[in-house]
Amino acid sequence: MEQEKWGMNCYLYAPKDDYKHRAYWRELYTVEEAEHLQALITEARSNNIVFYYAISPGLDIAYSSQKEIAALKRKLEQVQQLGCGAFALLFDDIDPEMSGADKEVYQSFAHAQVSVANEVYGHLNQPKFMFCPTQYCSTRAVPTVQTSEYLNTLGSKLAPEIDIMWTGPKVLTVEHIREVSAVLRRPPVIWDNLHANDYDQARVFMGPFCGRSPSLIPLLRGVFTNPNCEYGPNFVAINTLSQWARSASEENCCGDTSELKDDAISADIRLETEGDDSSVSYCPSGLPPSTYHPKRALRLALEEWLPEFNKSVLTTGPIQQPQIPLPVPIPIVPSVNTCMSLTSTTTVPPSLPTIVNNVNAVAEVIQDASLIPSTNIVMNSLVSETKIDTLLPEQLPEIAAGANTATHDATSSTSSAEPMDCNHSPVASPAVGSTSTGAASESAEDGMVVDQNQDKSATDAEFSPADSCAATETSSSSPQTSHCQDNPLTLDDLHLLVDLFYLPFEHGRKGVSLMTEFNWLKSNSHLVITHNRNNPDGSRKPEVQEWFDKAAKFGEMSDAVKTMTERLFLVRNRSLLYELYPYVWDMRGVVSLLNSYVQWLGMLATASVLL
């Protein structure tokens, strides 16, 4: 079990597809359901993993009703008899108002929850126990963390042996944790939602664990991660968290706001400084093995993840993903806080999204003259003497801050709903971990690689998982198997994949490069057309030639995405492929469409000479 191998020792069970965890929390498990749950508990225990069973009764519990409390005790007793020795009581994402009957008994909402938690904790003979408050992050604390009557009541009245869960901002600082610990009167357990996508399953996050300094480790009771709903894509998230947890040195490159500019840099800052060599972030050489750096952790995780793609793993059922209208592809606008509060979940997907929505979205972007990756980025005129070129992929550093996709807009970040709001997320799956083999080795060149031997005659429509290598064992002489062996997925391909689907508030350097190059070409195409109209002889000034050179480079970047997806479609691990497929296919289609638009602009510029 990967959790044990990586040094992680707890698993919190709170999936949304178990309706008896939340909506029907009073109902006992059937014999069949209990057998499945017991098997999971037994498996965790055999791998030295503490299995926490979480229950979320806050939607409709009557705190003052002894009948309700008895039902809660009976439910947890059943799970305890299955071998579970650790529990969590969750009151996140619920209405903070009590009923009239509860108001007659309890002084406040916090007093009601504390009373129930303490009583259940004692009834179960004081096992390992966690409590998730309704005010579980700074933005939900009323009015502030320090002055919140709710949080202060929890700190003073909740049994001191009960751990309290807390989700923090996108960058956790020592000062923030000390403030929370003082109010709660105990070190918090961080419920980290950095990689959670249950609030927006049109996106997936595969960047490294960052924005949390290892100097926080002595100040915390523990850290839980709430990763992507998909099982396979969580490899990097879990692996890098385990590296962070094992780090012993307080020296790090990702911990606080001052380091954010280089390592955990947000999308808007990254775009503003893209052309500034001084902003380039390299992973310092000669770091001790115990020192955590997110870029090094990512490289080590990818080296360990790569062999997983070549394992023969079958999958069942159709390729499906929730049909969510994808937003207009513009850069992500970070929200103030990352407050989600769900554990690993399993998706019950209705249907596979089509590329039509994305084509329409890109068409809107192409027609939108206001598209600029950042309001502060300098997109210099081709005729300006002070022009600053956008960095090309090979000029960018191997180690750089990254992010989600080059074209998806995180509209949920600017919505009124909290990113982690349980009530706004779709039903979902147990998550975390994958098998892993292989040892760390030196990182390969991180630039976008285009296979020069790749068959350029193939169109996007000709490739799909159904056309690639069969996951079943076949003869080594099979043409299909031979094709797989001749076109293996590489470490460079994984770097590109992760860069395109990085983190909620950060763009990978290759994603940033795609956006800035496209915006540059789009913004300056009219100058090229005007020049050609004024020079019917077809001669090209340096700035015109520069535009065509950049267009060719953008085409190479598009080809790199296409090559990566074609190699991915040939992997033997079909289960992992089908989890990634909707996201990768969507990205390939969008990038291909943008490249076609750039080519059309070049043809228009050339055709203007003939008019």
Averaged pLDDT score across all residues of the chain: 75
Who wins on pLDDT, 232 or 342? 232
Q: Which of 93, 421, 446, 492 is catalytic?
A: 93
Q: Which residue from 517, 525, 557 is spatially nearest to 544, judged by alpha carbons?
A: 525
Q: Hunting for tokens 């980025």 — which residue is that?
A: 377
Q: What's the whole-model pTM score?
A: 0.71
Cα torsion 463, 466, 469, 474: sign: negative
Q: Are 328 and 365 in contact (CB under 8 A)?
A: yes
**pLDDT of residue 267 exceeding 70:** no
Q: Are 203 and 500 in contact (CB under 8 A)?
A: no
Domain 1-132 in CATH: superfamily? Glycosidases (3.20.20.80)
The amino acid at residue 531 is: H
Tell me the longest C-alpha to C-alpha distance in the chain.
91
Residue 316: pLDDT band by 50, 70, 90 thresholds? low
The lowest-confidence range among 76-80, 290-294, 345-349, 512-516 is 345-349
The CA distance from 582 to 578, in Å, is 7
CA angle (448, 450, 453) in 5-degree steps: 165
pLDDT tens, residue by residue, 213-226: 999 999 999 999 99
The CA distance from 406 to 561, in Å, is 12
**pLDDT of residue 606 exceeding 80:** no
Q: Which part of the chain is CATH 3.20.20.80?
A: 1-132
Residue 277 annotated as catalytic:
no
The CA distance from 509 to 402, in Å, is 5
The CA distance from 163 to 221, in Å, is 8
